[in-house]
Chain A
Amino acid sequence: MEQDPIISVRGLRKSYADTTVLKDLSLEIRRGETAALLGRSGSGKSTLLRCLNLLEDWEQGEILLDGRPLGFHRGKDGQLARWSARQQAELRTRIGMVFQQFNLFPHMTAIENVMVGPRQIRYLSEAESRVIATRLLTQVGLLEKSDQYPAHLSGGQQQRIAIARALAMEPTILLLDEITSALDPELVGEVLDVVADLKERGLTMVFVTHEIQFAHDVADRVFFLDEGRVLESGPPAEVLDNPRSEQLQRFLARFAAHRGHRPRHEPAASR
Chain B
Amino acid sequence: MDQIIRSLPVLLEALQQTLVLSGLAVVFSALLGFAIGEVSTLAGPVAGWFVRRYIELVRGIPLLVFIFLSYYLLPAVGVQTEPFSTAVMSLVLYFSAFVAEIVRGAVQSIPQNQINSGLALGMRRLKVERIVVLPQALRIAVPALLNLCSIVVKSTSLVSIIGVWELTYATREIVMRTVLPFEFFIFAMIIYFVVCYTIVRASKMLERKMALAHR
Contact = CB atoms under 8 A, between A and B. Distances in A.
B7 interface: no
Interface stretch (B17-25, B100-108, B123-131, B196-204): B123-131
B215 A105 contact: no
Contacts of B114: 103, 105
Interface string B3-16: 00000000000000
A55 B125 CA distance: 12
Contacts of A166: 120-121
B190 to A, nearest CB: 39
Contacts of A91: 122
Contacts of A121: 121-123, 127
Contacts of B124: 85-86, 89
B158 interface: no
B121 A92 contact: yes
A55 B119 contact: yes
B117 to A, nearest CB: 4
A117 interface: yes
Interface in B64-119: 113-114, 116-119
A152 interface: yes
Interface stretch (A15-23, A94-102, A201-209, A214-222): A94-102
B214 A93 contact: no
Interface residues of A, number: 28
B46 to A, nearest CB: 19
A112 to B, nearest CB: 10
A117 B215 contact: no
B117 A99 contact: yes
A103 B116 contact: yes
A149 interface: yes
A106 interface: yes
A82 B210 CA distance: 42
A166 to B, nearest CB: 7
B135 interface: yes
A149 B215 CA distance: 6
Contacts of A111: none
B139 interface: yes
A91 B119 CA distance: 10
Given A101-B113, A103-B114, A107-B136, A151 B121 contact: no
A141 B125 CA distance: 32
Contact of B120 (A96, A116, A149): A96
A86 B214 CA distance: 32
A55 B214 contact: no
B132 A99 contact: no
A215 B135 CA distance: 38
Contacts of B136: 105-107
Interface in A54-70: 55
A29 to B, nearest CB: 18
Contacts of B117: 99, 103-105
A97 B123 CA distance: 13
A58 B123 CA distance: 22
Contacts of A55: 116, 119-120
Interface of B: 113-114, 116-125, 127, 131-132, 135-136, 139, 214-215
Ranked nearest first, the 10 interchain pairs of A and B with the lowest CB-CB distance are A93-B122, A103-B117, A97-B120, A92-B122, A103-B113, A121-B122, A107-B135, A117-B121, A89-B122, A89-B124
19 contacts: A53-B120, A55-B116, A89-B122, A92-B121, A93-B121, A97-B120, A99-B113, A103-B113, A104-B117, A105-B131, A105-B136, A106-B136, A116-B121, A116-B131, A117-B122, A120-B123, A121-B123, A151-B215, A152-B215
